[in-house]
Chain A
Amino acid sequence: MSIAKRAVQLSALSKRFGAVEALQEMTLSVDEGELFGFIGADGAGKTTLLRILATLLLPGGGKAEVSGLDVVDSYRNIRRRIGYMPGRFSLYQDLTVEENLRFFATIFGTTISENYELIRDIYIQLEPFKNRRAGKLSGGMKQKLALCCALVHRPELLLLDEPTTGVDAISRAEFWQMLGRLKEQGITTLVSTPYMDEAALCDRIAFMQEGRLLAVETPSAITTLFRRPLFAIRARQTWQLITWLRSTTEAHSVYAFGRAVHYTAKCPGQTPDELLEALQRQGFTEVEVMRITPGIEDTFMALMESKTGEPDG
């Protein structure tokens, strides 16, 4: 029986910047080969966490290990084993696609051809533009190039800080397909994102808020943390619908999801028909009420609301 080795191990990891607690007592472990996502709004501490793992920041308290190596003592050793893609586009804009890639290969003492297998799928899309300056690429292309550059030395652990922020939907989807393929190659990936739809593509996800972990689970299991009955409500007058629902005393949570409104009540006994009736009485037209199973975003919202890590209800 083989026990999966730990790629990343955090024990009570803390970090503060002045008065701001960027990370508070985070304890977490990620197995080798996992595709692990950190979900949270801006300022949740995702970047700080990834930078500590990339040995770019010192932990304020607690411990962080990468492949069993301490991020403070063994930073040099770790730097050889990881590929890091910062949140901001950090390649040389005045170098061409190929020059950038070749540069990052040589500073890691390798060549493009040596690890071409690993980046082929991604690089094939970039190849037509290989003589174009990186600064002139589209957002999606830039991120693919950055991923190539972070991968070109075949790291054991890939740290990606919001790689799809500001990238169009199609490129985002392609980017995640690539992460899936890297997983097949056995590369552990830690990725942060503000997009909930990307969370479902991870093996496990961690919800983060204000430097704290709200929950760590697989995407399918995390929704079981959501216990109240959830209704999706549509009406012709979406905006008035939200305002009215929020003003009622029975409402527990009201969020807009596209054209629908996701609603939970304080007392769980309410049925869809009762709701429908109440809404029609208020003069809403074309009203639809459906009981739905909560998604990842619903769960995240609920967890954020309660802040305790356990949604009440």
Chain B
Amino acid sequence: MLSFMGFLQKEFYHIFRDRRTAVILFGMPLIQLLLFGFAIRNEIQDVKLGVYDKSRDAVTRAIISKFASSGYFILSREVRSEKEIEDAFSTGSITEALVFEPDFARRLQRDGRAEVQVITDGSNPNLSRIVSGYTAAVLQDFRNSSVQGSGMEAGVVAVPLMLFNPELKSVDLFVPGLMALILMLVSALMTSISITREKESGTMEVLLVSSLRPAGIIIGKVVPYFLLSFINVLTIIAVAALVFGVPCRGSLLLLLLESLLFIVTALSLGIFISSVTSSQQVAMMIALAGLLLPTILLSGFIFPVASMPLPLRMISNIIPAKWYLIIVRGIMLKGAGFSYIWKETLVLVAMSTILIVASIKKFKIRLQ
């Protein structure tokens, strides 16, 4: 036990003395979270709205104030002509313009419909799509909420636009994916590098000729990263909640336990990688190309698994992050309990077991 503690202490020295390791371990998770989080929030928060109100009546004012209070739009300026709209777009002083047709309220009352033109900047299709999505949502909100018995507001017509999908483009979606990514990075990449570093520097030779057992060496290597990964999970959840207001609708305890399970899976992947290679370079290549890229691209983090072609869908099944993502999204966003995610949990348990058994079998008690 004492020798094990000595080993742990040594591992922590390695981690804290190597600036690169420390940065990857602690800086990366925060930087990534903030980058992902803020990059997305900027897009959807500060939509500069120009309004060309040809009607100036109670209904248009109500709609405009709805936009202003939505939290996504800033009422940037009032516009007095079509020409002015074009100028405002080209100088970048607005991102979207609303044009209310003349006699808006009266038309609404008389014909049961009135049109508002939604103009977005087509030169930035992504932004344009998101912005028109929000506009549609705000208008929909207006139609639903301000019905005052008359049913008249239902006649406000906007150009039909792409559906607003908060699940696809909000920070809520990125937090689970980011957790998977960071845990993969810290656990799998860092352990495999730290074990192969001992092989490369020749210190593994000395460790083998000590009375340490292989299991002792592996556990000693893994425990520090296990602890640090768990701290990362806590950090991400806290930052997500405090800075971005991402909710955890389900049980926090369940979320933490599932995260621990995923850390174990990632660590066993790291150990496995280091047992099949003996150079840091190769281990890093395998971890980056074989783990990080699939985690980003195939797990459903960025591209929905359901929309992938069949071969990729099949590959995505062997990616631990896919299952972890389902679990985390279930718990955090949908408030799912264990009964909804036991299958995914079982997949992770099975993966970890297979990897651990394989690595112990492959661990060499000698040099060749």
What separation, in Å, do the CA atoms of A76 and B216 have in the docked complex?
14
Tell me, rounded to whole Å, the shortest Cβ–Cβ distance linking A35 to chain B. Answer: 20
In the complex, which residues 303-328 of chain B have their Cβ closer than 8 Å to any Cβ of chain A? none
Residues of B17-31 whose CB lies within 8 A of A:
17-18
Residues of B within 8 A of A149 (CB): 206
| Count of inter-chain pairs, beta carbons less than 8 A | 80
Query: Do A109 and B367 have beta carbons less than 8 Å apart?
Result: no
Q: Would B6 and A56 count as touching, CB distance under 8 A?
A: no
Give chain B residues whose Cβ lies under 8 Å from the Cβ of A56: 205, 208-209, 366-367
Contacts of B2 in A (CB 8 A): 106, 109
Contact with A along B312-354 (1 / 0, CB 8 A): 0000000000000000000000000000000000000000000
Are B209 and A55 interface neighbours, CB within 8 A?
yes
Q: How far is the CA of A287 from the CA of B4 in the complex (A)?
A: 68
Distance in Å: Cβ of A148 to nearest Cβ of chain B: 13
- Total interface residues in chain B, CB < 8 Å: 26
Roughly how many angstroms separate A51 CA and B6 CA in the complex, as a whole number? 26
Chain A, residues 79-116, CB within 8 Å of chain B (1/0): the string is 11010101011111111000100111111110000000
Using A92-B14, A95-B10 as known contacts, say yes or no to A107 and B207 having CB atoms under 8 A apart. Answer: yes
Q: Which among A86, A88, A102, A108 is the interface contact of B211 at CB below 8 angstroms?
A: A108
A58 close to chain B: CB less than 8 A: yes
**CB <8 Å contact, A82 and B209:** yes
Interface residue count on the A side (C-beta < 8 Å):
31
B206 and A86 contact, CB distance less than 8 A:
yes
Q: Which of B3, B18, B209 contacts A109 (CB 8 A)?
A: B3
Least Cβ distance of A231 to chain B in Å? Answer: 45
The distance from the CB of A69 to the nearest CB of chain B, in whole angstroms, is 14
Does B365 interact with chain A (Cβ within 8 Å)?
yes
Q: Is the CB of B366 within 8 A of A94?
A: no
Do B202 and A88 touch across chains, with their CB atoms under 8 A apart?
Answer: yes
Indicate if the CB atoms of B202 and A86 lie closer than 8 Å: yes
Q: Which residue of A lies closest to B15 (CB)?
A: A94
Closest to B2 in A: A106
Residues on A with beta carbons closer than 8 Å to the beta carbon of B366:
55-58, 75
In Å, the complex CA distance between A88 and B205 comes to: 10
Contacts of B5 in A (CB 8 A): 106
User: How distant is the Cα of A108 from the Cα of B207 in the complex, in angstroms?
Assistant: 10
Interface membership of A235, Cβ < 8 A: no
CB distance from A91 to the nearest CB of B (A): 7
CB proximity of B368 to chain A, nearest CB, Å: 6
A305–B205 Cα distance when bound, in Å, is 35
User: A79, B211: Cβ atoms under 8 Å?
Assistant: yes
- Interface residue B201 (Cβ < 8 Å from any Cβ of A): yes
Q: Say yes or no: A57 contacts B211, CB within 8 Å.
A: no
Q: Which residue of B lies closest to A72 (CB)?
A: B366
Q: Is the CB of B206 within 8 A of A108?
A: no
A57-B366, A75-B365, A107-B3 as given contacts; A99 in contact with B13, CB under 8 Å: yes
List of A residues within 8 angstroms of B205 by Cβ:
56, 84, 86, 90
State the Cβ distance, B56 to closest chain A Cβ, in Å.
72
Does the CB pair B209–A57 fall under 8 Å? Answer: no
Asked whether, in the complex, the Cβ of B14 is within 8 Å of the Cβ of A94, the reply is yes
When the two chains form their complex, are residues A95 and B210 in contact, meaning their CB atoms are under 8 A apart?
Answer: no
B322 to chain A, nearest CB (A): 37
Which residues of chain A from 232 to 248 have any CB-CB distance to chain B below 8 Å in the complex?
A: none
Q: How far is the CB of A186 from chain B (nearest CB, A)?
A: 21
- Collect the chain B residues with CB atoms within 8 Å of residue A160's CB: none
Say yes or no: B13 contacts A57, CB within 8 Å: no
**In the bound complex, what is the Cα–Cα distance between A188 and B149 (angstroms)?**
101
Other than the known A104-B210, A106-B3, what 15 A-B pairs have Cβ atoms closer than 8 Å? A54-B209, A56-B205, A56-B366, A56-B367, A79-B209, A90-B201, A90-B206, A92-B13, A92-B201, A93-B201, A103-B7, A105-B6, A106-B2, A107-B7, A149-B206
Provide a sorted-by-A list of 27 A–B residue pairs whose CB atoms are within 8 angstroms: A55-B209, A55-B366, A58-B368, A76-B211, A79-B211, A80-B211, A84-B205, A84-B206, A90-B202, A92-B13, A92-B203, A94-B14, A94-B18, A95-B10, A99-B13, A103-B7, A104-B210, A105-B6, A106-B6, A107-B6, A107-B207, A107-B212, A108-B3, A108-B210, A108-B211, A109-B2, A149-B206
Top 7 nearest A-B pairs (CB, nearest first) are A106-B6, A90-B202, A84-B209, A107-B3, A88-B202, A56-B367, A94-B17
